[in-house]
């Protein structure tokens, strides 16, 4: 059965994928606190196996988010012209990025500096130093908000393409013609593998936009891929057919990737194999997720989906600050890991949703959290008696008696 034709409206399957990827992102960040790596703050419990465990989502999670973001922008462009798309993107992304940089990220930096360097000043003292001339000259940290900045810049690239609709039509037609059958699975893997082999060893993944060339080659590539294929029904039909091939490939590749990471050592050959397995898992998992979601979630536009989809941006903005502050307060207590880890997960999810529940009700601050203003409330529906009075006044006739038991004005 072929995929349902795409429409100009929101895609419920893409919304569900975005929601699921954000949930995994929060779990991933909690997991980083337990790795041997130096994260913002870490638990007292550190486990070597966490390096392999987080590979269950780290190769493909952001790839999926960038692809879905590109697809969402293309769906928006079918309802608005390029100028309006740019205006809406700016209104959606610029205020949260500025607000988050000035208000949400500084507590993370303060807590990290206090815990690691023994800083004794207050959050305000740290903020003043960070945004002084000297502090700004050393760079302004945006931490997890790098993703918002990248989406903003990639959206500018896509909007520029909207000024050349003939280019977009040719690119869409070429992808639809080229990515048929096995090629939809293999060709993106080859691209991601080449990028990983050639650019990652030189540039790594640093989330600093001015020289994050591996990330741009990978993430901008999949962002534009999502932008171009979202309306191609044939590509989605192929994704649905490939889902039962992509899923076992994803499972096998992640098992091999974890094994190579654990036992491969620093030899060049193992590094090359690691990069190849990373790329295979990166696209095979995304391909499987897109195929299964397209097949089973296209029509799942439920109340829960609408609620969570609206909450995504505020939850994303709030979650890392909540987690870092929870680590700052609770990690030194030394709770047993079976209690501490679920507690961090609960605090992060519940705290982020609580912030969303608060800000979504305050129209003035909604844009700072990536939410559209509510606007004026519609006037209340008139009662039957008031409606009869209005009709009578318009007709210049006495009003009829209201029905028995009707509410009076």
Query: Per-residue confidence of the chain (409 residues) as pLDDT tens digits?
Result: 434 444 455 799 999 999 999 999 999 999 999 999 999 999 999 999 999 999 999 999 999 999 999 999 999 998 888 899 999 999 999 999 999 999 999 999 999 999 999 999 999 999 999 998 888 888 889 999 999 999 999 999 999 999 888 999 999 999 999 999 999 999 999 999 999 999 999 998 888 898 999 999 999 999 999 999 999 999 999 999 999 999 999 999 999 999 999 887 666 667 889 999 999 999 999 999 999 999 999 989 999 999 999 999 999 999 999 999 999 999 999 999 999 999 999 999 999 999 999 999 999 999 999 999 986 666 666 667 666 666 666 666 555 555 555 554 4
- Are residues 274 and 246 located together in one domain of the fold? yes
In whole angstroms, what separates CA 221 from the centre of its chain? 16
**Residue 161: Cβ within 10 Å count:** 18
- Are residues 403 and 315 located together in one domain of the fold? no
Please name which of 320, 331, 226, 249 lies closest in space to residue 14, comparing C-alpha atoms. Answer: 226
- Are residues 359 and 216 located together in one domain of the fold? yes
Domain-embedded: residue 218 = yes
Query: Quick check: 299 and 76 in contact, CB under 8 A?
Result: no
- Are residues 138 and 208 located together in one domain of the fold? yes
pLDDT at 398: 56
DSSP type of residue 9 = S
Domain-embedded: residue 4 = no
Domain-embedded: residue 162 = yes
- Are residues 266 and 397 located together in one domain of the fold? no
Query: Quick check: 344 and 326 in contact, CB under 8 A?
Result: yes
Domain-embedded: residue 250 = yes
- Are residues 300 and 226 located together in one domain of the fold? yes
Which residue range forms the structural domain that includes residue 399?
A: 382-409
- Are residues 339 and 394 located together in one domain of the fold? no
Residues 6+ away with beta carbon under 8 Å from 20: none
- Are residues 338 and 209 located together in one domain of the fold? yes
Please name which of 93, 26, 85 lies closest in space to residue 57, comparing C-alpha atoms. Answer: 26
- Are residues 279 and 397 located together in one domain of the fold? no
Please name which of 182, 151, 157 lies closest in space to residue 171, comparing C-alpha atoms. Answer: 157
DSSP type of residue 333 = G
- Are residues 389 and 348 located together in one domain of the fold? no
Long-range own/partner contacts, residues 168-173 (CB < 8 A, 24 or more apart): 168/228, 171/228, 172/228, 172/229, 172/231, 172/232
- Are residues 123 and 186 located together in one domain of the fold? yes
Structure tokens at 227: 């932008």
Domain-embedded: residue 1 = no
- How many domains is the chain built from? 2
Query: Quick check: 342 and 45 in contact, CB under 8 A?
Result: no
Domain-embedded: residue 6 = no
Domain-embedded: residue 32 = yes
Residues 6+ away with beta carbon under 8 Å from 362: none
Query: Quick check: 203 and 212 in contact, CB under 8 A?
Result: yes
Domain-embedded: residue 5 = no
- Are residues 294 and 344 located together in one domain of the fold? yes
Distance CA 69, CA 80 (A): 17
């Amino acid at each position: 059965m072929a995929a349902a034709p795409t429409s100009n409206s929101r895609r419920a399957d893409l919304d569900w994928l975005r929601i699921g990827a954000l949930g995994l992102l929060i779990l991933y960040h909690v997991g980083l606190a337990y790795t041997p790596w130096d994260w913002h703050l870490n638990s007292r419990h550190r486990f070597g196996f966490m390096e392999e465990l987080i590979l269950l989502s780290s190769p493909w999670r952001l790839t999926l988010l960038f692809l879905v973001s590109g697809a969402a922008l293309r769906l928006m462009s079918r309802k608005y012209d390029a100028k309006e798309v740019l205006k809406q993107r700016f209104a959606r992304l610029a205020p949260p990025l500025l607000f988050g940089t000035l208000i949400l990220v500084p507590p993370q930096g303060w807590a990290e500096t206090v815990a690691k360097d023994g800083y004794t000043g207050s959050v305000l003292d740290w903020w003043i130093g960070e945004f002084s001339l000297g502090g700004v000259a050393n760079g302004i940290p945006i931490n997890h908000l790098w993703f918002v900045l990248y989406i903003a810049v990639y959206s500018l690239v896509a909007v520029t393409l909207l000024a050349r609709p003939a280019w977009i039509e040719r690119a869409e037609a070429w992808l639809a013609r080229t990515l048929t059958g096995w090629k939809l699975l293999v060709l993106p893997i080859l691209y991601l593998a080449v990028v990983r082999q050639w650019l990652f060893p030189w540039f790594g993944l640093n989330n600093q936009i001015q020289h994050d060339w591996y990330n741009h080659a990978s993430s901008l590539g999949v962002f534009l891929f999502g932008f171009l294929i979202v309306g191609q029904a044939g590509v989605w039909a192929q994704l649905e057919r490939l889902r039962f091939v992509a899923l076992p490939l994803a499972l096998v590749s992640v098992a091999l990737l974890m094994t190579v990471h654990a036992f491969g050592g620093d030899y060049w050959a193992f590094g090359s194999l690691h990069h190849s397995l990373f790329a295979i898992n990166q696209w095979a998992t995304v391909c499987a997720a897109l195929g299964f979601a397209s097949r089973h979630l296209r029509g799942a536009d439920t109340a829960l989906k609408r609620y969570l989809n609206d909450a995504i941006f505020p939850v994303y903005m709030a979650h890392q600050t909540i987690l870092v502050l929870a680590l700052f307060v609770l990690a030194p207590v030394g709770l047993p890991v079976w209690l501490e880890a679920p507690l961090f997960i609960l605090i992060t999810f519940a705290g982020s949703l609580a912030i969303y529940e608060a800000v979504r009700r305050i129209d003035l601050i909604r844009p700072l959290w990536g939410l559209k203003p509510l606007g004026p409330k519609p006037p209340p529906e008139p009662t039957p008696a008031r409606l009869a009075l209005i009709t009578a006044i318009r007709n210049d006739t006495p009003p009829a008696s209201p029905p028995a038991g009707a509410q009076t004005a």
